Structure 1
């Protein structure tokens, strides 16, 4: 099934989500270099802005091939880049995607992640016509688990030693949201 991902921006009351650009690398480097932000990501915190440029180029290549898509999250009031979110993988054959997201620490606890992901879910179900959205979360990532629960994701179980990240095998909790939920 051939589906072309739209290049549209997504808007919420306080945020604009737009396709990630290489020119975002300075702001995203600041976020991705924070060990608290990357603690539960499958990357080690960045130490050089070129790593952010390379990551953005990698994600944009996946986007060009309809395998993933990533949005930069911009706070409307300040016009500041505060994080990113998107689909780590898109599977149009099985009509599903896996979401991922992160915010700069200064913006944690303000409801921005919930607002951004809600918009992303709306886009997934209404525009991309997906049936299932998955989220894989390390069991210790209580903030992300609370967010998924607020968004009515269903906990499906723990995948034992499912991912190797930073030299360690990690258990992963699988959550899902269906279009019919």
Structure 2
């Protein structure tokens, strides 16, 4: 698995514990975590634990998370990656989060397109999936702009913050 990507405006590099403070500033914002399946962080140690967990999944080749850094400022602005990797079925689920100050600039879409290219051309995956709460219109717009197709609603498919939620399922195929 590649640990580093570069796009026009972003650096994507495998998340490390050195990113904990920067990612804590993203994951401690209730506006950012509103649609994430995590509680809003209150201590930097939570970010450290999350990074260790994500890197354990990466070591097991089950997922991988990248820190998003804006090239122009060298500032960490969020994270993205493959929430799950299923090589047997040639598919992965993608996810992303951005600090609120960076919303609306096209960064999420730029990162998603980078990961899609890697998944289809280097990992030889056939299918990319993404799930978003139907109310998360910003995330849905990112998926639409990056070529994902709406497949349907997974009713009460996941428990998030103590409540079962619906998720909209989107996919993009290598052949699309």
Query: What is the TM-score normalised by the length of structure 2?
Result: 0.99
For the residue of structure 1 that corresponds to 2:110, the secondary structure is helix
Does residue 6 of the first structure (1) align with residue 2 of the second (2)? yes
Q: CA RMSD in A?
A: 0.6
Hey, which bits of structure 1, 4+ residues long, moved more than 4 A?
A: none
1:91 match = 86
Distance 1:102 1:88 in 2: 12
For the residue of structure 2 that corresponds to 1:84, the secondary structure is strand
For 1:45-64, what aligned pairs fall within 5 Å after superposition?
A: 45-64=40-59
For 1:134-173, what aligned pairs fall within 5 Å after superposition?
A: 134-173=129-168
For 1:124-143, what aligned pairs fall within 5 Å after superposition?
A: 124-143=119-138
Distance 1:128 1:20 in 2: 19
* Offset of residue 127 of structure 1: 1.0
Distance 1:118 1:96 in 2: 15
Unaligned runs of 5+ in 1: none
Unaligned runs of 5+ in 2: none
Query: What is the TM-score normalised by the length of structure 1?
Result: 0.96
For the residue of structure 1 that corresponds to 2:95, the secondary structure is strand
Alignment: residue pair count: 176
